[in-house]
Amino acid sequence: MILARYSALGKVHSTAVLPMMRRGAGALILILAASGSAFADEDLINKLSPRILFTISGGYWEAPQETGGDDAQADEGAAQRGYYRTIAYRAEDDTSRLYLQQIALGADGPAVLETREIEAIGEAAGYITDMRPENATGAAATPGFTAFIYMKSDREAAEPDMWELFIDEFGEVSVNAASN
């Protein structure tokens, strides 16, 4: 491609093309070596269940970390931090389930602390058609998380019902039919 591009311009002689091809091959080797992690990421993505319908992340939480001492006092200034993730999942019976994860941020990257099903959504036996965070800026001003879940109780329904998943600053979870 380099050869065709430059010779089409008529500005490069054949003696200049060989060094350019060597540099291009070297750059290609560097790109392929650097993209090794991209292949690992692709492997990870391909392992995700095809039953996952939607996922959103947002909000934040913060908790004091305990020291390893005998009295287990909180280390002042040190806090464990993280965010929330919701996952809409198509169950075996073809209805939707909603899961909430609490993700911790650490030196080794994010780690799942807890996963729990939001039973009110599963009990509704509906079909999740969309999910949206309350705030799409990526920067929450206060601890907690709010997501809006759009769900049809009947696939033939013209419009979905909207549910609100709310997590307050203390980590308490509530799920209600949205009032707006």
Q: Which of 87, 90, 166 is nearest to 125 (CA)?
A: 90
- Low-confidence residues in the chain, pLDDT < 70: 1-40, 66-77, 180
Q: Where are the domains of the chain?
A: 2-44, 51-64+74-177
Condensed to tens digits (0 to 9), the pLDDT of residues 23-76 reads: 444 444 444 455 555 666 888 888 889 999 999 999 999 988 766 655 545 455
**Cα(106)–Cα(124) distance, rounded to whole angstroms?**
36
Model pLDDT, residue 77: 58
Paired tokens of 128: 């999740």
Model pLDDT, residue 180: 64
Q: Which of 85, 78, 165 is nearest to 175 (CA)?
A: 165
Model pLDDT, residue 45: 85
Model pLDDT, residue 50: 92
Report helix, strand or coil for 36.
helix
Model pLDDT, residue 13: 41
